Amino acid sequence: YNYHMTHFVMSAPDIRHLPTDTGIEVAFAGRSNAGKSSALNTLTNQKSLARTSKTPGRTQLINLFEVEPEIRLVDLPGYGYAEVPEEMKRKWQRALGEYLQKRHSLKGLVVLMDIRHPMKDLDQQMVQWAVGVDIPVLVLLTKSDKLASGACKAQLNQVREAAAAFEGDIQVEAFSSLKKTGVDKLRLKLDSWFSE
């Protein structure tokens, strides 16, 4: 698939407002500031594709992008904002869980985690939800350029071990938008999910 052709389709406040549940979707999730927008921009080779999701008021929306007809990338709301009121956090979490559990076109989940602070509670929750409904997961340990290669490998091993405990289809890779590390692996994984 030519991810460079990806374009913004729409934003939705919840799954009831998403387009018809047909075709194939892969969702991107992560704590806010994990590097999700940067990864989407790197994948699609577009400077501001995911900027829509950064616009104030749009941060809690599900943003949909189309690679080609019936092939979509879904940018889920970033979680873990410290400043967000509890009630809104619960609302977001419910929306995320609902989407993972009810969306038939969802064929894969990419969870982005800062390589320096991986597998926080909500990250584990996302992985757990996906494994629970048999959705394969690609964990990208982002900003890998921030660590020396030895520390990077150590983190990778540790997270791979933690991921194995979930007993699901989970692949863990290092990623850097800055250095373009792991972009090929992301592309290969998406290709395989979209081709099933």
What span, in angstroms and rounded, lies between the C-alpha atoms of 42 and 36? 10
Q: Give, in order, the Cα–Cα distances in Å from 147 to each of 36, 143, 156.
A: 18, 8, 11
**Min. distance of Cβ 8 from ligand GDP in angstroms?**
15
Count of residues in contact with ligand GDP, rule CB under 6 A:
16
Question: Any contact of residue 52 with ligand GDP (CB under 6 A)?
Answer: no
Question: Any contact of residue 171 with ligand GDP (CB under 6 A)?
Answer: no
**Min. distance of Cβ 176 from ligand GDP in angstroms?**
4
Question: Any contact of residue 37 with ligand GDP (CB under 6 A)?
Answer: yes
From the list 2-10, 14-22, 35-43, 156-164, the region that binds ligand GDP by CB under 6 A is 35-43
Question: Any contact of residue 189 with ligand GDP (CB under 6 A)?
Answer: no
Figure out which of the listed residues 97, 98, 145, 166 binds ligand GDP, where binding follows CB under 6 A: 145
Question: Any contact of residue 73 with ligand GDP (CB under 6 A)?
Answer: no
Alpha carbon 141 to chain centroid distance? 11
Handedness of CA 142, 62, 53, 193 (dihedral sign): positive
Q: Cβ-count burial of 22 within 10 angstroms (0-12 exposed, 13-18 middle, 19+ buried)?
A: exposed
Name which of 140 and 170 has its Cβ closer to ligand GDP. 140
**Min. distance of Cβ 63 from ligand GDP in angstroms?**
11
**Min. distance of Cβ 2 from ligand GDP in angstroms?**
22
Nearest to 116 by CA among 174, 77, 75, 50: 174
Strand boundaries in the chain, DSSP class E: 7-12, 24-30, 62-68, 71-75, 106-114, 137-142, 170-174
